[in-house]
Amino acid sequence: MKKVMLCAALSIACSAGLMAESYVVDASHSSVEFGVKHMSVSNVKGSFDKFSGSVELDGKTITKLDGEVQIASINTNSEARDKHLNAPDFFDAKKFDKATLSLVKHSGKKLEANVTIRGITKKVTFDVELNGPVKHPKTGKDVIALSLEGKLNRKDFNVGADTANAMVSDNVNVKIELEAAQK
């Protein structure tokens, strides 16, 4: 009887994995953005222009989410600021060329992910909205969209550790908009 129960449990677990749908992020219809307070008064926004990722869904549950951004692709609409952000005292893009995000758990409107920046990994909670799937009229493939919004503390990742909160806020608002097409 125990063998029958074990086989049934394994069969269910394996078939659940077969039901998951895999998607690849379409960077041309997606964005990875952030915002910080500057001098405690203004909001400065930026983005990463080069990123990639993949998503797996089981129904309306995200079962896998992996993404990475190329740090050197940072864009704050100021070449001098971007150069400084890539320097060793902030992102140190030569030593740590990418940042990553990997799903820990998705439950309803919340998503927990491991975020790695400068080789330091911390759990970050995001509000998540999942839309789709819809059929793409040209490719016939399913397309989904994810919106993730959360906050992280830059000093937890040793980004600008010597820069005061009054100059650049410690809290960083993160907004990720992803469109992904079925593999």
CATH number for 21-182 (one of 1.10.1060.10, 2.40.128.110, 3.30.429.10, 3.40.720.10): it is 2.40.128.110
What percent of the chain clears pLDDT 90, i.e. is strictly above it?
89
Q: Position 51: which residue type?
A: F
Contacts of 108 by beta carbon, 8 Å cutoff, 6+ apart: none
pLDDT band, residue 31 (cuts 50/70/90): very high
DSSP code string of 27-92: GGG-EEEEEEEETTTEEEEEEES-EEEEEEEETTEEEEEEEEEEGGGEE-S-HHHHHHHHSTTTT-
> Tens digit of pLDDT for each residue in 84-142?
999 999 999 999 999 999 999 999 999 999 999 999 999 999 999 999 999 999 999 99
How far is it, in rounded angstroms, from Cα 56 to Cα 17? 10
Q: What is the reported pLDDT for 2? A: 52
pTM more than 0.85: yes
Q: What is the reported pLDDT for 18? A: 54
* φ, ψ for residue 156, nearest 5 deg: -60, -25
